[in-house]
Structure 1
């Protein structure tokens, strides 16, 4: 693996109101701040192909969300502490701690929900946004209706446990080999070229996943925000946003059927949709993602009109 290992980055901690948040920060202060929010089952390091290159142009901040990575785990017996509104509060408190008034924000996978709420609860703090693998009100219902592909299903034995979270209450008993099999499948599920996550990179993800509290923290986030009884899509979450935002999506892929585009346009008045193959697109197309983020946040693409489709974004290989 040629990428930098986690320990080679610049690590920091912020003691916020009731929680300690770990984050990586690189790039010169005074540049445009760029906040990178990870998905699941990742942590800040899923942006390892992006932090360094983007830090040449931005002030890059990549935190571990509460319950993930090296950030503090709230009481794991209280699922409500993992509600997206608490995560949003953490993000804003982190920006206050760093004395950053306004930022550009990028979220992937589950962090798409965090971005969705940030743009509504704290519109004045967000300059522009981008999302890889979008989530919006209505996604849950369509997924439960079976509109998504079965290719995204979890493999046993860990998959069964993830779908039945009570099996994970004593998650310390999960065997590393089962987690390795899960990562090889899940992080390549929906892959553009079906490459599996292997070698040192996979082991770094495993080391993080198996740290005390991280498995349950991720499950609690899912329970609090995507479960049948979740309240993530409240009246604030169901209001439209005028923040300029670009969605990178696997058009017609297993995790985002092409018929779901209306769910994005309904909630965003200034959005653009760009085709980017594969669910782990930031890993498979890192150079392209870095270039587009520079163009969207720093270059002439900022002047593009709202509601533009770009369904052939990748250059020829």
Structure 2
């Protein structure tokens, strides 16, 4: 990896003041996706089947950095920053997952990909689930990692038991208008640090540099507003999910990946009522941030699942 502070600044970066980390063997690209400029990091086999990776809160594409090299031998690997993440634009749009899914799909098409596999974590999995409902013909496989998807795997109520409430309390906090911005502005590092350390199985999974990198993304150019908007538009995401599911089921094969100490004990069981083909795996010794905590296990699961139909 090169020094992010010394990485040459490409033209057209929507967040030019944010350090841009590199990953050996991968290239930064930007795509105009129906009016929203999205950042992608691409590598692997140019002629291989494409796999698209999406990260969640409070991370960026960098969450997949330990998994991407293990996929690159078989796949064309494309990690995309969602709107509001990393080096993607932070537009004033609806952040319901069907709207965001349309932008992500447009970015993939702009990168010259017509059919692809999709693996996604946390909020990225929210978007991926909706994308699979909107564009089933273009998907060849869908892997969802530890995510409370609105209207699907997200509980209707936040538990009051302290042993469980700490995993989901932030959903309600992020919904409150204006207050999170007031309390978090200038304290992004402390907030991001709590998430990464508390929700990982081992508090040592993330070092100070990674925490600062994610916090800088959240603080830069409307990143906090955009990140909170996913939660504030979650009810609309749930409504659109159920509206789509009234007409169809998920036809694409689904793999649910859970952490042994994550937020959703069995992703596959949670998704199975809406999917024709859903299988699952539980990764041992992992909390919520499974790609960071157990990257080899995640890469092995994806390599097996995403090539089953090849």
The TM-score normalised by the length of structure 2 is: 0.81
- State the shift of 1:127 in Å: 0.4
1:150 aligns with 2:162: no
For residues 190 and 169 of structure 1, the distance between their equivalents in structure 2, rounded to whole angstroms, comes to: 22
1:216 aligns with 2:229: no
Secondary structure of the structure 2 residue equivalent to 1:46: helix
The answer to whether the 8 Å contact 1:208/1:214 transfers is: yes
Secondary structure of the structure 2 residue equivalent to 1:231: helix
Matched residues, number: 286
Q: Which ranges in structure 1 are unaligned for 5 or more consecutive residues? A: 304-317
Q: Which ranges in structure 2 are unaligned for 5 or more consecutive residues? A: 5-19
CA-atom RMSD, angstroms?
Answer: 2.9
Secondary structure of the structure 2 residue equivalent to 1:116: helix
- Which residue is 1:174 aligned to? 185
- Which residue is 2:16 aligned to? none
Residue pairs, 1:81-120, within 5 angstroms: 81-120=94-133
- Which residue is 1:56 aligned to? 73
- State the shift of 1:73 in Å: 1.5
Tell me whether 119-128 or 66-75 shows the greater mean CA deviation: 66-75
The answer to whether the 8 Å contact 2:181/2:224 transfers is: no
Compared with structure 1, are the counterparts of its residues 279 and 3 closer, same or farther at alpha carbon in structure 2 (3 Å cutoff)? farther
- Which residue is 1:65 aligned to? 82
The answer to whether the 8 Å contact 1:117/1:237 transfers is: no
Aligned pair partner of 2:241 in 223, 230, 233: 233
- State the shift of 1:114 in Å: 1.4
Map Cα deviations across residues 95-119 of structure 1 (whole Å, 9 max, x no partner): 2212211101001011112121122
- Which residue is 1:199 aligned to? 208
The TM-score normalised by the length of structure 1 is: 0.79
For residues 108 and 281 of structure 1, the distance between their equivalents in structure 2, rounded to whole angstroms, comes to: 9
Compared with structure 1, are the counterparts of its residues 273 and 4 closer, same or farther at alpha carbon in structure 2 (3 Å cutoff)? farther
- Which residue is 1:184 aligned to? 193
- State the shift of 1:244 in Å: 1.0
